[in-house]
Amino acid sequence: MRGIISRLSLLGALSVALSACALFEQAPAEDPVLVRLSDLERRLVSIERIVDNQGLVELAQQVSALERRADELQGRAETLEHNSGTTAGRQRQLYADLDSRIQELESSLQARRGTNVLESGTLAPGQLPVPDGSDRDNYQVALELLREERYDLAAASFKEFLLAFPDSEFVGNAQYWLAESFYASDDFEQALRDFRVVVDEHPRSSKVPDALLKMGFCNYNLKRWDAARVTLTRVQADYPETTAARLAGQYLNRMDTEGV
């Protein structure tokens, strides 16, 4: 009987170990492992109740079966623990790779947008907004400065662009936005000269109608009424189906109303 009680004590210890192994599973209540563990515990209770009526051979067989099951569960728990560690390692590696790629993209974006110029608000003579960037990069940064209403810096950026990329596909647009930088700053004389460059030197540019319109606006603001009328009328005649022509008509009506 003492041997049996000793074996039962061993079974109790195995039950605790099996319960601990099941924690690695972290599964819901219906997990088969937990169900089987519960069943083993019920069987142990049953063994304690009927031990006096069972033969030692049968009891030993049950103990052996429990020991084998405990070994299987222990192996399964160790496998799960290993897989968990492997998964965590892969996640850490993926995070490191992703973080590295994001840093590279951020550095590239800062270089392409000319971060130093945008943040510092200065541009040295002969310096491009994006020194190592393409014509598109520099054009986009200059345009962004204009959108931010940083007109002096935008004008300087467009000037450097025109000097550095005279053959760029963006030259006509850059010349127009250079003039717009002065127009937005109420420097109508300079704006008028730069808008005229668009019309005279880039006649195929899509910005020509808008440049003519703005020339009319500049003359209007400079109180050169006749010059304003001539230019605005030209917009209507040469580009009748454009927004520029519609705006030119509105300004001409305004001038009629004002009697100028």
The mean pLDDT of 148-164, rounded to a whole number, is 95
Upper half-sphere CA count for residue 144 (Cβ side, 13 Å): 16
Q: What is the pLDDT of residue 88?
A: 62
Largest CA distance in the chain: 125
Chain segment 165-222, per-residue pLDDT in tens: 999 999 999 999 999 999 999 999 999 999 999 999 999 999 999 999 999 999 999 9
Q: Where are the alpha helices (DSSP H) in 149-242?
A: 151-164, 171-184, 188-201, 208-221, 225-238
In CATH, the architecture of 185-260 is Alpha Horseshoe (1.25)
- Residue for token pair 């590279």: 104
Chain segment 20-59, per-residue pLDDT in tens: 444 444 444 566 666 666 776 777 666 666 555 555 556 5
Q: What are the residue ranges spanned by the domains of the chain?
A: 2-112, 114-169, 185-260
**Encoding tokens for residue 202?**
């880039």
Q: What is the pLDDT of residue 53?
A: 53
User: Lowest mean pLDDT: which of 5-14, 76-85, 137-146, 225-234?
Assistant: 5-14
Q: What is the pLDDT of residue 169?
A: 96
In this structure, the number of other CB atoms found within 10 A of the CB of residue 77 comes to: 19
Q: What is the pLDDT of residue 2?
A: 46
Chain segment 222-238, per-residue pLDDT in tens: 999 999 999 999 999 99
Q: What is the pLDDT of residue 123?
A: 76
CA distance 192 to 143: 19
Closest by CA position to 192, among listed 213, 162, 168:
213
What is the chain's mean pLDDT, rounded?
A: 79
CA distance 124 to 140: 18
The DSSP code sequence of 2-15 is HHHHHHHHHHHHHH
Report whether pLDDT(6) > 60: no
Contact between 160 and 128 under an 8 Å Cβ cutoff? The reply is yes
Report whether pLDDT(147) > 80: yes
Contact between 198 and 174 under an 8 Å Cβ cutoff? The reply is no
Chain segment 101-133, per-residue pLDDT in tens: 666 654 455 455 455 566 666 777 778 888 889
pTM of this structure: 0.57
Closest by CA position to 112, among listed 135, 89, 82:
135
